[in-house]
A and B are shown apart, each in its own frame.
Chain A
Amino acid sequence: MHVMPALDRDHGIEPLLVGSLTSAAHEVFETMVFRSLTAGAPLHDTGLRPPADIVGTVGFTGDVSGLVTLYATLEAAREIAGAMLALDPAGLDDEITDAIGELANMVTGVFRTKLAGNGRPWAISVPTVVVGTDLYTKYLTAGRRVLRSFGMGDHQIFIELVVAETPLNGGPQRS
């Protein structure tokens, strides 16, 4: 039974996962935001905190479990929402949160589809979106992390992939 290798002790998260997530980001942004992204180099297990006022997170589980997190400044998020909704970005408020959540949902969904090509089942969670200042995420489960920046015109967004070293639910529980 083949299980996709997710973690390489020497190089962090397996390149196929990183490449699939990057490809998913490009596809979603071009199709739904009408923006091309310029991907930066992936940063493995970095302590870097991307600048963000809004963070959208979606969990996934399958051969591996983890999280996909999208980080954006308010200005970038406002531009994204305006493009998706065909509305003037300056007039948007609550719409921004939902747009970022839907964007994270779609990026993770495409990522999941790319990984599900081997026929094994995958699932993704409902998106969680947090709005604030100087946000960062901290994971309670041991895992490996890769962060990638994407240039989007005058803005920069970040997408992070965290892969758990053990299943997020800890596997079957026995009394």
Chain B
Amino acid sequence: MRFLIVDDSSTMRRIIVNTLAKIGHQEYVEAPNGRDGLDRLAASPVDVIITDWNMPEMNGLEFVRAVREQHGPDVPILMVTTNAAKDDIVEALRAGVTNYVVKPFSSSTLREKIDAVLPAKPA
């Protein structure tokens, strides 16, 4: 399983990588903003995208919309952000986000959200 982690904070990228490692996922690529994230995605496909909302160059919502436009509806996208208002969550879901994690989060919470968006394993 290959992940794309998009966040302008190297700290948050590292925290997510650590959580992925704890649950057995070692393959990932990182991007510091949405525009770089699109470039990474164009270079090679991923199975799950984890993205922040507030980023320079291209923010998370713009990135999500671009992903859906360019790569379709199938790749799961998990948004990790401090934006916790109901309106924010609705806006993100409408943009094409699959699931939502509000900072701060425990590793178990992030794990549950990741498991919830992972593609179902074949029977």
Contacts and interface: CB of A to CB of B under 8 A. Distances in A.
Contacts, number: 57
Contacts of B82: 105-106, 108-110, 112-113, 124
Interface string B1-37: 0000000011110110010000000000000000000
How many chain A residues sit at the interface, stated as a range, is 20 to 34
Interface in A111-136: 112-113, 116, 121-122, 124, 126
Contacts of B102: 113
A18 interface: no
Contacts of A86: 18
A95 B18 CA distance: 15
Contact of B15 (A28, A84, A101): A84
A69 to B, nearest CB: 17
A95 B11 CA distance: 7
B36 to A, nearest CB: 17
Interface string B77-98: 0000011110100000000000
Contact of B84 (A31, A99, A105, A113): A113
A31 B106 contact: yes
Q: Is the interface of A mostly helix, strand, loop or mixed?
A: helix
B15 A85 contact: yes
B104 A110 contact: yes
B54 A28 contact: no
Contact of A106 (B14, B18, B85, B103): B103
Given A32-B15, A109-B103, A102 B9 contact: yes
A113 B104 CA distance: 12
Chain B contact patch, size range: 10 to 19
9 A-B pairs with least C-beta separation: A109-B82, A31-B104, A113-B84, A102-B11, A99-B11, A32-B104, A102-B9, A98-B11, A28-B104
27 contacts: A31-B105, A31-B106, A32-B15, A32-B105, A84-B11, A84-B15, A85-B11, A85-B18, A86-B18, A95-B14, A98-B9, A101-B9, A102-B12, A105-B9, A105-B82, A106-B82, A109-B83, A109-B84, A109-B103, A113-B85, A113-B102, A116-B84, A116-B85, A121-B85, A121-B87, A122-B85, A124-B82
